[in-house]
């Protein structure tokens, strides 16, 4: 079972399964305007449908994130696939906003469970390639889901169902194949105790977390806004009615982020974090310019730059903080880091959805973008001042 072929096929299967979960997570984005038109709900309700996914994912990471350490990887992967298959059936049969919220809640929990167990299984299978796959596959998956869904909506029948049928079929095959994988951990007691959330930021990592937090919050808040409201924003700003635009923007955002993570994976964390802050500030500024000039090409250029900032900012924040923890402190620190990241992913977009009712989509976007720019520039200044102080201390000046 440990032959190179089985090792390689296990790695490929785990990567494709992780990609599938994240593709499913972004598949609804190009469909949101169809749901709005068909079910007649507001932008605030739209961001609620999006936000419950992130909150449910967060609950899963905090509760069942380490369950596979006790029960084994295969049963937990199988359970996550079953939950996500049920979510696909809810999407296929949606008839009200309540069905959509139920589907997204279930999907979020399944994705959080899968992210934790597949990430662990990838590290078990390949210590060298596992971390890279863990970083890049989710962003590639989100790009595939958003773009694939857009293409099917534009050119295929059953616009609100076909993508989910395809994902359901793929997950069914994965649920069958997962039992052929070699199990990488032995069962140990303590499964119930592992469900208790643990958050802990060790003292030696707190300063680095505070310095990285504004960039991390800004990049995740931008990601949440894009995945929930970007298609509606482009329609409002440019008048474009193409279903390909929303999915294309999400694909550009996530692919550019994945490319930056791959390109910068061996660079010093502080330089990557500064680059992420700078690119995000420039990207968001250009997005606001695109909104007010109604320029579709500028939207894509701005999204490319902002997505690069997303990838660099996330990677820089993660690598600035996590290495400072001792081995027995890493799980608690990672949980705390992801809690903050996913709260930034959903809460600001939920707030934006409610503000749209009072101020409109364009004005809300302006305010949202201004906050992201202030966070990014403020973080960049703080990081530069820290580097300057460190250089003075080193030279004795």
293 lies in the same domain as 374: yes
**Distance of alpha carbon 104 from the chain centroid:** 14
Under a CB-based contact definition with an 8 Å cutoff, are residues 365 and 355 in contact?
no
| More confident call, 17 vs 42 | 17
Distance CA 289, CA 302 (A): 9
CA dihedral (72, 75, 80, 81) positive or negative: positive
Q: How buried is 183 (Cβ within 10 angstroms: 0-12 exposed, 13-18 middle, 19+ buried)?
A: middle
359 lies in the same domain as 318: yes
Structural domain boundaries enclosing 230: 198-396
CB count within 10 Å of CB 204 equals 11
78 lies in the same domain as 132: yes
Give residue 280's pLDDT.
Answer: 97
Structural domains of the chain, count: 2
293 lies in the same domain as 188: no
Give residue 397's pLDDT.
Answer: 54
Longest dimension (CA), the chain: 70
Q: What is the value of pTM for the model shown?
A: 0.86
Is the pLDDT assigned to residue 50 strictly greater than 90? no
CA angle 297, 33, 97 (to 5 degrees): 155
> Of the candidates 172, 196, 220, which is a domain's last residue?
196
> Count H helices, E strands: the chain?
14, 0
Give every CB contact of residue 131 below 8 A, 6+ residues apart in sequence: 123
Share of the chain above pLDDT 90, in %: 52
> Of the candidates 165, 196, 227, which is a domain's last residue?
196
Q: State mean pLDDT over 208-227.
A: 91
Residue of 111, 137, 138, 116 lying closest to 56 (CA atoms): 111
Distance CA 67, CA 135 (A): 21
Q: Tell me, what CATH number does 231's domain have? A: 1.20.1250.20
């Amino acid at each position: 079972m440990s032959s190179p072929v089985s090792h390689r096929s296990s790695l490929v299967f785990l990567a494709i399964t992780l990609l599938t979960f994240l593709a499913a997570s972004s598949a609804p984005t190009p469909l949101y305007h169809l749901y709005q038109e068909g079910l007649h709900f507001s932008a605030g309700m739209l961001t609620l449908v999006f936000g419950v996914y992130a909150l449910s994912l967060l609950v899963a990471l905090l509760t069942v994130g380490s369950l596979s350490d006790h029960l084994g990887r295969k049963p937990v992967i199988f359970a996550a696939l079953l939950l996500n298959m049920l979510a696909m059936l809810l999407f296929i049969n949606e008839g009200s906003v309540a069905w959509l919220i139920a589907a997204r809640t279930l999907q979020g929990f399944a994705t959080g469970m899968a992210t934790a167990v597949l990430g662990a299984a990838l590290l078990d299978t390949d210590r060298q390639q596992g971390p890279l796959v863990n970083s890049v596959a989710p962003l590639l998956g989100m790009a595939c889901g958003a773009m694939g869904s857009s293409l099917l909506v534009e050119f295929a029948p059953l616009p609100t169902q076909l993508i989910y049928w395809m994902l359901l079929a793929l997950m069914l095959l994965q649920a069958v194949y997962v039992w052929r994988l070699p199990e990488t951990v032995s069962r140990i007691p303590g499964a119930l105790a592992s469900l208790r959330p643990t958050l802990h930021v060790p003292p030696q990592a707190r300063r680095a977390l505070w310095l990285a937090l504004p960039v991390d919050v800004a990049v995740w808040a931008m990601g949440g806004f894009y995945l929930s409201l970007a298609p509606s924003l482009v329609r409002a700003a440019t008048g474009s009615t193409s279903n390909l635009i929303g999915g294309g923007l999400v694909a550009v955002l996530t692919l550019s982020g994945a490319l930056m993570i791959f390109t910068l994976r061996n660079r010093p964390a502080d330089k990557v974090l500064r680059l992420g802050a700078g690119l995000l500030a420039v990207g968001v500024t250009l997005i606001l310019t695109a909104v007010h000039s109604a320029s579709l090409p500028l939207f894509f250029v701005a999204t490319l730059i902002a997505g690069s900032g997303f990838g660099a900012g996330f990677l820089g924040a993660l690598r600035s903080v996590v290495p400072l923890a001792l081995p027995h402190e890493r799980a608690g620190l990672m949980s705390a880091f992801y809690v903050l990241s996913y709260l930034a992913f959903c809460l600001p977009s939920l707030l934006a959805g409610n503000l749209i009712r009072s101020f409109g989509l364009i004005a809300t976007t302006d305010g949202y973008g201004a906050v992201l720019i202030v966070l990014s520039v403020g973080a960049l200044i703080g990081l530069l001042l820290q580097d300057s102080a460190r250089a003075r201390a080193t030279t004795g000046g």
